[in-house]
Chains A and B, each alone.
Chain A
Amino acid sequence: MSRKSKTNITFIYTSILYIAGLLLFLEWLYPVDQVTDTTYIGIFVIYTIFCFFISVLQVKWWLSLILKGFGVFFILNGLYSSYSFWSIHWFTELLADFSFNLQALLDRQWFDLSNMFRTLLFLIIIWLMSYLIYYWFVQIKRVMIFSVLTFIYITLLDTFTVYNSDWAIFRTFIIAFLALGIANVLKEIQNESLQAYRLSTRPLWIVPLVGIVLFSTVVGYAAPKLDPQWPDPVPFFESAVNGNGIGTGGVIQKVGYGENDSTLGGSFVQDYTPVFKAFMKEENYFRVESKDYYTGKGWVNSEESEYVEQVDANITYETFSKVVESETSELMLTFDDRANIPKLIYPYGTRRVVPPSEDVSLMLNETNGEIRTEVDHDAANLSGYKIYYDSPSYSIDMMQKSSTPEDEELVRNYTRLPSSLPERVGELAQEITAVHESQYDKVRAIERYFSGNGYVYQIENVPVPTEDQDYVDQFLFDTKAGYCDNFSTSMVVMLRSLDIPARWVKGFTSGEKIDESVNEDGDDVYQVTNANAHSWVEVYFEGVGWIPFEPTQGFDAPNNYAIDTQEEDDVLEAPEAPEMPEQEFERPEKDVEEAFNPSVGENNGKFQITMTHGIILAVIFLGLIGLLIWKRHQLRIYFLERRMRKRRDAATYQDAYHYILKVLKNKGFEKDPDQTLREYANRIDNWYGSNEMGRLTANYERLIYQNGVTNIVDEEMSNLWKNLIKRILG
């Protein structure tokens, strides 16, 4: 085979490779049109093709410079100037624009840059890329990096922008893999391990490559695919950017405080948009309102209540009676601008609120405890307020001794259940509480029931009940997986089936402690986000009042229970529930946030993998892998050298020596099998103009051919080894 035809063939293949590079680069340009305000993307595409075409011709550098430069100014002229290309006015216009933009650059006034200048920069980038891709694809034949970058670019755009990359992925896949295959063959030819003439006499080699790529493409396209394993991260980012905090609707919802609870169920994604900061000394559950009527699908209010204005912001709503011991306390809430809850968010025992201005009126719904915040009779979001409250400490003794409620209307209202409720719900409640006598014990038994028995806390893959399904029944018997709404609703419904008055409460948990002792009162700061929106249960105890209970796995109601008798210990230890291991994954919001700030909060070290973590971990993981691959030689050298210095044994030296052979092989200096080490070392030393390989080899020869030589690694040899390998890699 003559040299001429050999170069012809490789020219054809490198051209194909280069065209593949061009096509991949064009994939970078197509989305620009959609995701930026760039118009005339076609012009850029044409300029790209022009640049690549000139690069592939391999004209002299000055000619290429003139041609590409001419192209740039031609485009600028066409796009931005009314003068002709050869006109002197166009030239002065250009100069003026440049001087203006250079000034802007110097002043770092990025937004002042003119469109023309930005176009110029963009064209120059395209120009550079044509060089770079020529270098990557044709000269060093490393296609991988750019292909991977292209994939990342396209997928990121697909995820975070309006750009739909379905077909782009398709094209990129085919082009990238064909290019990889061809580049590999060309590399083999370069290393002379494959004769070039085979390419021409048997162009068939490309058939399996094309075949495999097409086959996997078709399979990939046709095969069934898993649904996304992670919810779309975009809502979180968008909400973080746009502050569009509260959202409901759809099967996948964002967590947050919503108005409409008539259809519960469905998965949601965590949303860490801040709602408010609480300055307080102890954790509290923040109540917003309760609901009393269970429909089988969700909760509604049974009646439209009157709203009563609270005089001087003294709150008349009481959930517990005067007999409950309480401690005077105060806290302050400051709301995030993005929060949109025109209602008072208050702890149990709230007595008085200090709103930010006098104009604010507080309207109480006496039935469900909802307190609207209004200014001039219009719902208003307050920037913050101070609350004086009596932090209750419920006496278990009192609850134990609490008698059957006497208020019939209350009992009727809060034990109502839909007739469609399957009987097995009530039967289950009976079963759970069968051994218990007092109402309190029964309540605690049901509350505890969910911490085991196969129930798991999860926010994904939670179904919405179908037309003929009951929300509670579905959770209790079918899915056994859900979040606070499932747990709390089920508890209320089961209690009601036992004729224990109970209601469903909505509000917020106390979120994540982000700072300690920030003011003279020694208050801690808690950040409450949409993810801390919560629901729980209140149970009526005659003479005591509405006592909150927390059935949801992984949550502890920060209630104070006053222990005043011994025999209740058993009951009190309820939350020790033996099924705790499950909580590893079920610790909800609180712990998620701890993961970001591990020094804060309880030291239980529990951790839930969420989407955001997943992404961060994946990025770190990929980064580490990339780093490992990138630094693999350095790592290997480090470990081998350490082992040599430490052990000084023959096997290590053999490994180290063979590592050099491997590195040299990668550099294209492969040792022929029939070559002796000495011959090989001569070749290497001739190439590098040193005698290091020869000295190392002489040492190694003694090791493997001489009798009884084992201890030959000294300082000199390990230094020699290190120097040589650095020389090779350098």
Chain B
Amino acid sequence: MQETMVYNEKISSVIDNINKVMIGKEDVAILSLVALLAEGHVLLEDVPGVGKTMLVRTLAKSLDCDFKRIQFTPDLLPSDVTGVSIYNPKEMEFEFRGGPIFGNIVLADEINRTSPKTQSALLEGMEEKSVTVDGDTIPLQKPFFVMATQNPIEYEGTYPLPEAQLDRFILKLTMGYPSLADELEMLERTSKEHPIESLSSVMTKEELVLIQKEVRNVYIEKNVQQYIVNLVRETRNHESIFLGVSPRGSIALMKAAKAFAYIKGRDFVLPDDVKYLAPFVLTHRIILTSEAKYDGKTAKQIVEQVVKQTFVPIRKEF
């Protein structure tokens, strides 16, 4: 157990760091870390001003990583994201200048406010871990973690992300408003100096890469894998779901579960991990039937139903 969990202690200091800035958002912080450790990306969906950007900044600062931010606007071009080749008169050739996507932690703010063309430039980079400019494929940084935020799609002036691209995000999170006590505490803390200013990094890039490697080695037993597959298959058969979760969803759920187990200090996955993560991993991967939508059902409710219908494995064949 010990050899696979060398850097586990670092995780808790990262969480402590985030807790200094973000009040009452430990669960979101942990889930973001899950995505980071599982080498995935996070989609944060919420109204403006609840701390989405602050969360990403805190995370970036705690990790001593190269932090880039892209503010998506309707007039943003794909090259504004990936970078452009500029003629260098000295060298007499074109030289590539990387865009904001060449960072370790990239905050893609209000991703649904830009055109699909620009969105897809980012999404392609997220999937391929490289960008193609002028026919050259240029690999992105390692680690590479995108935290995209979006306003709820009902808001005006948004381009909803296509379903096929949504499942590039391993988790979809919401922040929600803080509680009364938390909000008061927040005012108290920020009245003089914002706590983020005094934050120092607690983990290096290299350590993060090593941790990601350790996460891949977290053990998942056959019966838990079976549980994941059962959950996913259940979404494909559910009467309220028009399009179920793809196999990419199963893989994402497993990776997330491993990362979550790691953060919890275990080198093996429990069904509890899977069950806890299922709503965050599956909700944005299903499309409800029109009838279900008209009935006012939400994807979240349906995923909860799916989880309720799936048996948890409590035996192992010896």
Contacts and interface: CB of A to CB of B under 8 A. Distances in A.
Contact of B316 (A678, A679, A703): A703
A398 interface: no
A705 B275 contact: no
A705 B312 contact: no
Interface string B248-291: 00000000000000000001111110010000000000000000
Query: Which 10 residue pairs across A and B have the least CB separation, nearest first?
Result: A704-B316, A707-B219, A706-B268, A673-B311, A651-B318, A676-B272, A705-B221, A676-B271, A676-B312, A674-B308
Contact of A654 (B219, B272, B318): B318
Interface in A382-421: none
Interface residues of A, number: 21
Contacts of A701: 270
Contact of B310 (A654, A661, A674): A674
Interface string B300-318: 0000000111111111101
Given A650-B318, A651-B318, A676-B272, A704 B312 contact: no
16 contacts: A650-B318, A651-B318, A658-B314, A661-B314, A673-B311, A674-B275, A675-B312, A676-B312, A677-B271, A678-B270, A701-B270, A705-B221, A705-B268, A705-B316, A706-B221, A707-B267
B308 A705 contact: no
Given A650-B318, A679-B272, A674 B311 contact: yes
Interface in A646-660: 649-651, 654, 658
Contacts of A674: 275, 307-312
A674 B307 CA distance: 7
A654 B268 contact: no
A707 B272 contact: no
Contacts of B221: 704-707
Given A650-B316, A676-B272, A702-B268, 11 more contacts: A674-B311, A676-B270, A678-B270, A678-B272, A701-B270, A703-B316, A704-B316, A705-B221, A705-B270, A706-B221, A707-B221
Interface residues of B, number: 22
B187 to A, nearest CB: 35
A654 B309 CA distance: 24
Contact of A707 (B268, B309, B310, B313): B268
Contacts of B308: 674
A650 B315 CA distance: 11
B223 interface: yes
Contacts, number: 57
B224 interface: yes
Contact of B315 (A658, A671, A706): A658
Nearest to A675: B312
A707 B3 CA distance: 14
B272 A704 contact: no
Nearest to A653: B318
A156 B216 CA distance: 73
A679 B318 CA distance: 24
A101 B269 CA distance: 75
A654 B267 contact: no
Interface of A: 649-651, 654, 658, 661, 671, 673-679, 701-707
Contacts of B271: 676-677, 705
A704 B269 CA distance: 10
B315 A654 contact: yes
A463 B1 CA distance: 83
A651 B317 CA distance: 8
Interface centre among A650, A671, A701 (most CB of B within 10 A): A701
A705 B311 contact: no
A674 B310 CA distance: 6
A357 B140 CA distance: 130
B318 A677 contact: no
A661 B312 CA distance: 14
Contacts of A704: 221, 223, 313-316
A542 to B, nearest CB: 85
B273 to A, nearest CB: 9
B25 to A, nearest CB: 24
Nearest to B269: A705
Contacts of B315: 654, 658, 704
Contacts of B267: 706-707
A702 B270 CA distance: 9
Interface centre among A673, A704, A705 (most CB of B within 10 A): A705
Contacts of A658: 314-315
A675 B318 CA distance: 23
B309 A705 contact: no
Interface in B194-230: 219, 221, 223-224
B210 to A, nearest CB: 21
Nearest to B275: A676
A243 to B, nearest CB: 67
Contact of A677 (B269, B310, B312): B312
A48 B221 CA distance: 64
Interface centre among B219, B268, B309, B315 (most CB of A within 10 A): B268
Interface centre among A649, A651, A658, A676 (most CB of B within 10 A): A676
A671 to B, nearest CB: 8
Interface centre among A649, A650, A654, A704 (most CB of B within 10 A): A704
Interface centre among A651, A674, A679, A701 (most CB of B within 10 A): A674
B15 to A, nearest CB: 21
Contacts of A675: 312
A650 B270 CA distance: 18
B64 to A, nearest CB: 33
A501 B308 CA distance: 95
Contacts of B224: 705
A677 B311 CA distance: 11
B54 to A, nearest CB: 32
Given A704-B221, A705-B223, A706-B221, A654 B311 contact: no
A701 B269 CA distance: 10
Contacts of A679: 272
A706 B271 CA distance: 11
Contacts of A706: 219, 221, 267-268
A701 B270 CA distance: 8
Contacts of B314: 658, 661, 671, 677, 704
